[in-house]
Amino acid sequence: MNTHKKHGFWHRFFFSLDHKDIGFQYMLTIFLMVSIGGFFAYVFRMHLAYPDMKVPLFGLVTNKDYNMLITNHGLIMMMWLALGMLLAVVGNFLIPIMIGTDDMAFPKLNKISYWFFLISVILMIASFFMPKGGLGGGWTLYPPLSVGDFGYNTPYQGFASRFFTANTFVLLAIVFEFTSLLMGGINFFVTTLNKRAKGMSLLKMPIVVWMINIASVLFMFSVGPLVAGTFMLLLDINVGTGFYDAYRGGDPLLWEHLFWFFGHPEVYVILLPPLGILAEIISTNSRKPLFGYRFIINMTLLAGVLSMMVWAHHQFVAGINPKAATVFSILTIIISLPFAGIILAYIATLWYGKIRFTLPMKWALGAVALFTLLGGFTGLHLGASVFDIYAHDTSFVVAHFHYTLFPTVIFGTYAAMYFWFNKFTGRHLNKTLGNIHFWLTFIFFNGFAFPLFLLGLAGQHRRIADYRQFEFLMQDPLPLYRQIATISAVILILTQFIFIFNFFWSLKKGKKVESNNPWEANTLEWQTSSPPPHGNFAVYPVVYHGPYEYNMPERDKDFTPQNEA
Amino acid sequence: MRIFPENASSYGAEIDFIFWLITTVVAVGSVIVIFLILYPLFTRNKQRSPEQRYLKGQGFKQMKLIYLGIVILAIADFSFLLKEGPTWTKIEETLPKDDLHIAVIGRQWLWEFVYPGPDGKLYTADDVKKINQLYIPVNAVVHMDIQSYDVIHSVFIPNARFKQDALPGRSIKRWVKMTKTGTYPLTCAEICGIGHANMKANITVQSQEDFQKTLAKLYKK
C-alpha cells in the first residue's frame, strides 16, 4: 500500500524527494539553460547574415562576443539541454512509474544529484561574467587555446589571475554536472534492477527504460577519461602544469583523445533515450506490438559497444596516424548497421498497423524521418575519412550534427511532452497550438539547417565571425543561404514561445483528462491516476504481459495493459 | 551554380568523386526509406485500414526483411569503403617525391610560409619567409611541414581539398600538387582565438618560370 503524504508548494519545489518533483525541478532548470542557449544562437545567427547590424537585445557583435556566443551555445545545448533533458528529466519522470514502483532506489541521492546539477548551472552562468569575459575557444575546449585567455597568449601570472576565469568555471561546472549525472545514472540502474513490479522481467520492461539504462551505463564507462582530462586541464590553467603544453612535455592531442573518447559515446547517450521515447509512441499509435523488441535491445547494446571504438573519427586530420584513421573510418561506417536495424524495426512497426496521427506521433515520425534521411545518411559522408578531409570543420559538419541532435533531442523531447504531459499534470496540452508548433518547427528547422550543408560544400569553414573577408564565400548565392538559415532560425526560436505558452497555460487551464489512459497504452504509468499521487500507485501493480501487446488475439479491446491478467 | 569550389589539385577530383559516390548511395537509400515510411501512413490510417496484424518481430521468418535491409546497407557501405580506402592511402599515407619543400607555420593570427634559401635546404640560416602569401609552382609536388607556434590551427585550401591541423610542438608533413595556375584562398579551419576570423592567406600557383622569378625576388630582399 502507498504510504506517501502529499506536500505543499515549498516542500515540493525545494525539498521533495519524489522522483516526479525532482524531474520537474530539472525540467524548469533546463528551460532556463535552453533559453540562454537559444538566445545566443539568435544573436550569432543574426550577426552571420547581417554583419553590420546591431542585433536587437544585444548590440554590435565583436569577434570576441561571437566566439563566446558560439562556444556557450554549444556547451549549453550539448551538456545541459541534451544530457540533462534526456537522462535526468526523462529518466526521473519515467523509470519508477514505468517499472511500477513508488520512487527511486535512493531518493536522497536523487535530490543531491539535482543540487549538484543546480550548482553546475550557477557556475556555468557565472562564467559569462568573469573579468576577462565568457569562454570563447569552441565548446570542445581544445588546449592550448582553452588554457590561456582565448586568444591572447598571456603568460601564467599566478593562481588568482586564473581561478576567476571563464575556463576554470566552465570546467568546474562540467565536473559538477557529470557528478550529478553519474549519481542519477547509478540511481536509475539500481532502481531498474531492484525495484521492478512483481512479474516484470527485464524483457517485459518498456524500451525507453532499457534505453535510459544503457545510456547511463555508457555514460559511466566513457566519462572517466573526460574527468581525468578536465582535471589536468584545470591544473594547466590554474597551476601551470603543462599537461597539454607541447613545449613542456605535454601534448595538445592528448585532450582531443580524452575528450572524444567521452564525446563520441556521449552522442549515443543523448540518442538512446529519445529512441526509446519514439519506440513507445510509435508502437502505441500504430496499435501494433513494437517490431523486434529483443532485436532492438541487442542492436542498441552492439551500437553501445561500437560507440566506444570510433572516437578518433573526429580527428582524421588532427595529426593522428593516418593508418589508424582507416580503422576508425571503417568502424564508424559499421556503426550505421545497428542503427539501420533499429530504424527499420520502427518502420516495420508502422506496417500493417492502424496509425493514429496524434501530436506525439507527428513529432515521432518527424524525428525518425529527419534523423535517418539527413542526420544518419550524412554521417556516412563524414565517416568516410577521404571526404572528411574536405568537410571537417566546415558548415557541413554543423548541418550534420544539427540534423542528428535536433530531431532526437528537440523532437524527441517534444514527442515525450505531448505524450506524457497529461499523465503527470492531469491536463492536456492544447492541440491546435501543438499542431502549429509542430509544423512551424518542422519547416523552419529544415530551413535553418539544410542551407548549412550547401554552405559547407562550398567550403565555408566554421566559427568565423565575418565571412565578408573571404571572397569565395561571398559569391552568389552563399550570402542568400546564410540569410535563409538565419531567418529560419529566428522563426524557429520564436515558434518555441508557442510551446512555452502552451505548457504553462495548459498546466493551469488545459482540458482535464477524461480518463487515466487517453492514448489506450499498455505500460504501467497509464494504469494509475493522472497526475499520479506521491508514491505513484494506490495499489502496486503485478505485471503479466510485455509492454507492447496491442491487438492481441482473442481480446475484445485492441490493447492489453501490462497489469491486466 | 557549382556545389564545390573549383578543383585545382591533383587529388581533388577523387575526393569529390567519393562525395558523389556516397551521395548516390544515400539518395537511393533515402528514396527507399521515404517510401517505407510514407506507404503505411497513407494506407494504414484510421479511416481506411483493414484490421492490423499482431506481429512481434520474433524469429527469422518475421525478421528476414530487416536483416536484408542491414545486409544491403552493409554492401552499400563497403562499396564505397573499397574506393575510399585506397584514395586515403594515396593522399594521406604515401608521400610522392618532392619538387619543393616548404614549411607552413600558423601563429595567432597569420600564416608564415618558409622557403629554403639558395642552398635548396629547409631549416638553414638562409631560409626566406613570406607572410600570408604562398607561391608554389604548378604541377609540382610540394611538401609542406605544417607547424604552429602557439595554439592549434588548421591549414585549409578549399580549392585543393586540402586540410591539416597545425599543432604546436610537432611538424606534420603533407603534400599537395596544384594543377591549375591562379590565386586561391588558404584559411584557418580550427578556432584559434579572437583573430580566427581574420586569419587568411593567399596561395598563388605559378608556372615554373614565374615561380623561379618570384623565388629570385624573395632571395634578393
Hey, are the CB atoms on B74 and A337 less than 8 Å from each other?
A: yes
Number of Cβ atoms within 10 Å of the Cβ of A479: 17
CATH 2.60.40.420 occupies which residues in chain B? 100-220
Hey, are the CB atoms on B58 and A294 less than 8 Å from each other?
A: yes
Q: Which residues 70-89 in chain A show a CB within 8 A of chain B?
A: none
The grid coordinates listed for A304 are 553501445
Hey, are the CB atoms on B56 and A289 less than 8 Å from each other?
A: yes
Using CB atoms within 10 A of its CB, is residue A214 exposed (0-12), middle (13-18) or buried (19+)?
Answer: buried
> Considering only CB atoms, which chain A residues are within 8 Å of B156?
393, 459, 461
State whether the Cα torsion A360-A365-A371-A376 is positive or negative: positive
Could you tell me how many helices (H) and strands (E) chain A has, helices first?
19, 0
Closest CA to A476 of A453, A496, A458: A458
**Bridge partners (DSSP) listed for residue B177:** B141
Phi-psi region of B94 (alpha: psi -120 to 50; beta: other; left: phi over 0): beta
Q: Which pLDDT band, with edges at 50, 70 and 90, does A1 fall under?
A: very low
The answer to whether residues B191 and A145 touch, using CB atoms and an 8 Å cutoff, is yes
Could you report how far apart the first and last alpha carbons of chain B are, in Å? 43
The percent helix, strand, coil of chain B (3-state, each to 5) is: 40, 30, 30
Q: Which residues 128-187 in chain B show a CB within 8 A of chain A?
A: 150-152, 154, 156, 158, 161-165, 167-170, 172, 185, 187
- Facing residue for B49 by CB, picked from A354, A357, A368: A354
Summarised one tens digit per residue, pLDDT across range A421-454 is 999 999 999 999 999 999 999 999 999 999 999 9
Residue tagged 499534470 (cell numbers): A425
Measured CA to CA, the distance from residue A126 to residue A161 in angstroms comes to: 16
Would an 8 Å CB–CB cutoff place B110 in contact with chain A?
A: no
- Facing residue for B77 by CB, picked from A247, A333, A469: A333
- The shortest C-alpha distance from B128 to chain A (Å) reads 25
> Considering only CB atoms, which chain A residues are within 8 Å of B165?
317-319
- The shortest C-alpha distance from B29 to chain A (Å) reads 8
What is the pLDDT, as a whole number, of residue A156? 58
Using CB atoms within 10 A of its CB, is residue A308 exposed (0-12), middle (13-18) or buried (19+)?
Answer: middle
Largest CA distance in chain B: 88
State whether the Cα torsion A500-A501-A506-A507 is positive or negative: positive
Hey, are the CB atoms on B52 and A286 less than 8 Å from each other?
A: yes
Q: Which pLDDT band, with edges at 50, 70 and 90, does B145 fall under?
A: very high
> Considering only CB atoms, which chain B residues are within 8 Å of A387?
15, 18-19, 22, 84
> Considering only CB atoms, which chain B residues are within 8 Å of A247?
168-169
Q: Which pLDDT band, with edges at 50, 70 and 90, does A15 fall under?
A: confident
Measured CA to CA, the distance from residue B16 to residue B203 in angstroms comes to: 21
Mean pLDDT along residues B34-55: 81
The answer to whether residues A72 and A134 touch, using CB atoms and an 8 Å cutoff, is yes
Q: What residue in A sits closest to B68 (Cα-Cα)?
A: A341
Q: What is the ipTM of this complex?
A: 0.95
Using CB atoms within 10 A of its CB, is residue A201 exposed (0-12), middle (13-18) or buried (19+)?
Answer: exposed
Measured CA to CA, the distance from residue B20 to residue B27 in angstroms comes to: 10
Using CB atoms within 10 A of its CB, is residue A118 exposed (0-12), middle (13-18) or buried (19+)?
Answer: middle
Using CB atoms within 10 A of its CB, is residue A544 exposed (0-12), middle (13-18) or buried (19+)?
Answer: middle
Hey, are the CB atoms on B167 and A246 less than 8 Å from each other?
A: yes
CATH of domain A19-527: 1.20.210.10
Q: Which residues 451-480 in chain A show a CB within 8 A of chain B?
A: 454, 457-459, 461-466, 469-472, 476-477
Closest CA to A371 of A292, A495, A274, A300: A274
CB pairs < 8 Å spanning A and B = 281
CATH architecture of residue range(s) B100-220: Sandwich (2.60)
Mean pLDDT along residues A212-239: 93
Closest CA to B203 of B147, B162, B150, B149: B162
Measured CA to CA, the distance from residue B197 to residue B192 in angstroms comes to: 9
Work out the angle at residue A259's Cα, subtended by the Cα atoms of residues A254 and A264, and round it to the nearest 5 degrees: 130
Hey, are the CB atoms on B63 and A462 less than 8 Å from each other?
A: no
Q: Which pLDDT band, with edges at 50, 70 and 90, does A4 fall under?
A: low
- Facing residue for B163 by CB, picked from A355, A392, A553: A392
Closest CA to A278 of A131, A409, A159: A409
Hey, are the CB atoms on A334 and B77 less than 8 Å from each other?
A: yes
More confident residue, A293 or B44: A293
pLDDT at residue A256 above 60?
yes
Q: What residue in B sits closest to A387 (Cα-Cα)?
A: B15
Measured CA to CA, the distance from residue B203 to residue A16 in angstroms comes to: 64
What is the pLDDT, as a whole number, of residue B59? 87
pLDDT at residue A46 above 90?
yes
Size of chain B, expressed as the number of residues it contains:
221
Summarised one tens digit per residue, pLDDT across range A226-245 is 999 999 999 988 888 889 98
> Considering only CB atoms, which chain B residues are within 8 Å of A463?
191, 196-197
Summarised one tens digit per residue, pLDDT across range A442-496 is 999 999 999 999 999 999 999 999 999 999 999 989 999 999 999 999 999 999 9
Summarised one tens digit per residue, pLDDT across range B81-123 is 999 999 999 999 999 999 999 999 999 889 999 999 998 899 9
> Considering only CB atoms, which chain A residues are within 8 Å of B188?
461
Q: Are strands B133-137 and B200-206 parallel, antiparallel or unpaired?
A: parallel
pLDDT at residue A154 above 60?
no
Mean pLDDT along residues A365-377: 95
Using CB atoms within 10 A of its CB, is residue A545 exposed (0-12), middle (13-18) or buried (19+)?
Answer: middle
pLDDT at residue A14 above 90?
no
What is the pLDDT, as a whole number, of residue A65? 92
pLDDT at residue B31 above 70?
yes
- The shortest C-alpha distance from B184 to chain A (Å) reads 9
Q: What residue in B sits closest to A314 (Cα-Cα)?
A: B165
Measured CA to CA, the distance from residue A535 to residue A542 in angstroms comes to: 16
pLDDT at residue A138 above 70?
yes
Using CB atoms within 10 A of its CB, is residue A484 exposed (0-12), middle (13-18) or buried (19+)?
Answer: middle
